[in-house]
Amino acid sequence: MIIPNKLKKGDEIRIIAPSRSASILSDEGVQTAKERLENLGFVISFGKHVFDKNLQNSTSIQQRVEALHDAFADKNVKGILTVIGGFNSNELLPYIDYELIKKNPKVFCGYSDITAIGTAISTQTGMVTYSGPHFSSFQMRKAQEYQTHFFKQCLMQNEPFELKPSEHWSDDAWYLDQENRVFENTVWKTYNEGTVSGELWGGNLCTLNLLQGTKYMPIIENAILFIEDDEMTIPETFARDLTSLLQNAQSIKALVIGRFQRASKITEEQLLFILDKHPMLKTIPVLYDVDFGHTQPMFTFPIGGEVQIAAEKGSLKLVRF
């Protein structure tokens, strides 16, 4: 896999909206996120049509593809952050110039619906992309230290490092009330122990599964899967989506599951019931309730990079990313 150059202070980061528009963010939120990234030493620019919107709070396929191509083609831009997730980034996949991206590798980061476009870029170009905070994620005040620390670890340095649990986590609507938040203690949990290394694929499960049957779906072989899902899932849909992904994979070496939102009703009892269905998961390391996905805070990880899992210690180490 091609690993793009890491970011450094003084680099320009382009903000684009391949899914929902930045128009759904408040002016204060946009300014806060911009200032926080500037305080890390970056120069922030906004792509075309970022604040435009249509009936579904997005823009046309052509407008979104144009902004993506501009960001990769611009030699001054060293990294690309997506505004926020949504529902439609997979609409862009047939229209992307993957050769342009391959000739201009750079950091591309986002999560949730961005799983579709990030994974497609990785499979079509052989370039590592990143599942991590959106631009909008940098509006968040509390728990920002953990998120920013691992954003910097993953995207601003080359040395292997260990991902560690946050002290606390939250599932509240922080963007509505930044002060009155409820946090709980964090524990990463082990379903099955073991230590392995391998190539990492994954992201948002229901979005990743949209790629099945297309040329944008990676060949998952001897891979480590990182998967999560949002509040719109329920135990039954998560179970069938997980089954579908496992049946698509030629072989997996480990499974890491991000923490679920409470609205999903996927309790520990439900999750263990789902995992127990699959004999293969009793023979490989499996971790769950890990700090990525739609709860806060989250760490950043590489799609197509390499990771080491030590499930008996609840340890994740990025090796090549």
Which residues are registered as beta bridge partners of 225?
201, 255
> How far is it, in rounded angstroms, from Cα 287 to Cα 272?
11
Catalytic (active site) residue 315: no
Catalytic (active site) residue 294: yes
**Catalytic residue, candidates 122, 136, 228, 264:** 228
**Catalytic residue, candidates 49, 199, 294, 306:** 294
Classify residue 234 as exposed, middle or buried by CB count within 10 Å of its CB (0-12, 13-18, 19+).
Answer: middle
Residue of 109, 169, 115 lying closest to 143 (CA atoms): 169
For 16-49, b where at least 16 C-beta lie within 10 A, e where not — what string? bbbbbbbbbbeeebbebbbebbeeeebebbbbbb
Q: If DSSP codes are grouped into helix, strand and coil, which group holds residue 296?
A: strand
> How far is it, in rounded angstroms, from Cα 259 to Cα 171?
10
121 touches 89 (CB < 8 A)? no
> How far is it, in rounded angstroms, from Cα 137 to Cα 150?
13
> How far is it, in rounded angstroms, from Cα 10 to Cα 205?
35
Classify residue 179 as exposed, middle or buried by CB count within 10 Å of its CB (0-12, 13-18, 19+).
Answer: exposed
**Catalytic residue, candidates 112, 131, 137, 166:** 112
Active site residues: 112, 228, 294
